[in-house]
């Protein structure tokens, strides 16, 4: 099993693996090209070459930062405001018709708390960090407010709303409003009619 396969399977992996480093640098090239094309109406096409899936009419404001790219899927008509960061060490799915506020972070990776478990000597003698990652799934029609952080292993259900500045550490049911640090479900989201 490759380090990338381990990473996507939620197992501990070596983040300094040559394949992952190559993906990292490839992502940086596409991000630079995207940021430099800020005023170009065709800039979204740049991201189609590096992201796993980019639905029709997706709009992403620069700067947009991601770890690797291929493990990200964004559904049709979703809007990502400026300064969104996606750490796609595990799969990150953002559904269609979503609104993602400025400064939102999707952080999939984690490390052991005990430094003796976190900092390890690798088989080739290098020092590394024990890292694992869990996927993030955001449903359709979600609104995630400014400066929210979503951690790995979280599912946000369809039609959910996450209040600005929240830290999402656990699943949020569909059609609910969650906010706070850590985020807690406050109430159902109601729609007129």
The pLDDT tens digits of the residues spanning 108-156 come to 999 999 988 888 887 888 888 889 999 999 999 999 999 999 999 999 9
Question: pLDDT at residue 191 above 80?
Answer: no
User: What is the residue-averaged pLDDT of the chain?
Assistant: 95
pLDDT at 6: 96
Instruction: Measure Cα distances from 141 to 44, 81, 106, 119, 173 in Å.
Output: 21, 15, 17, 40, 13
Cis check: omega of the bond before 182, within 30 degrees of 0: yes
How far apart CA 133 and CA 67 sit, in angstroms, is 12
Q: Is residue 93 annotated as part of the catalytic site, yes or no?
A: no
Q: What's CA 114's distance to the chain center, in Å?
A: 25
CB neighbour list of residue 164: distance below 8 Å, 6 or more residues apart: 101, 145, 146, 147, 148, 179
How far apart CA 164 and CA 41 sit, in angstroms, is 29
**Mean pLDDT in residue range 77-97:** 98
How far apart CA 34 and CA 76 sit, in angstroms, is 19
For the chain, list the domains and their CATH numbers. Answer: 3-188 (2.160.10.10)
- Is the separation of the CB atoms in 92 and 135 below 8 Å? yes
**Exactly one of 40, 71, 111, 137 is catalytic; which is it?**
111
Percent of the residues in the chain that have a pLDDT greater than 90, as a whole number = 84
pLDDT at 190: 78
pLDDT at 80: 98
Question: pLDDT at residue 192 above 90?
Answer: no
Q: What's CA 102's distance to the chain center, in Å?
A: 14
Please write down the long-range contacts of 71-79, taking CB distance under 8 Å and 24 or more positions apart: 71/8, 75/140
pLDDT at 124: 84
The pLDDT tens digits of the residues spanning 34-57 come to 999 988 888 999 999 999 999 999
Percent of the residues in the chain that have a pLDDT greater than 70, as a whole number = 98
């Amino acid at each position: 099993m490759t380090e990338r396969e381990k990473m996507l399977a939620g197992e501990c992996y070596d983040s300094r693996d040559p394949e992952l480093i190559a993906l990292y640098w490839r992502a940086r090239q596409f991000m630079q090209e995207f940021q430099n094309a800020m005023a170009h109406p065709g800039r979204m096409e740049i991201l189609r070459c590096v992201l796993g899936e980019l639905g029709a009419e997706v709009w992403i404001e620069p700067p947009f930062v991601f770890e690797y790219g291929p493990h990200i899927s964004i559904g049709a008509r979703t809007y990502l405001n400026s300064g969104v960061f996606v750490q796609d060490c595990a799969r990150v799915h953002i559904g269609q018709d979503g609104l993602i506020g400025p400064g939102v972070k999707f952080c999939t990776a984690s490390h052991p708390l005990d430094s003796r478990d976190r900092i390890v000597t690798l088989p080739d003698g290098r020092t590394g960090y024990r890292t694992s990652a869990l996927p993030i799934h955001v449903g359709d029609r979600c609104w995630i407010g400014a400066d929210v952080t979503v951690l790995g292993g979280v599912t946000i259900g369809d039609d959910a709303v996450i209040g600005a500045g929240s830290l999402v550490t656990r699943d949020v049911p569909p059609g609910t409003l969650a906010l706070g640090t850590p985020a807690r479900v406050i109430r159902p989201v109601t729609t007129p009619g």
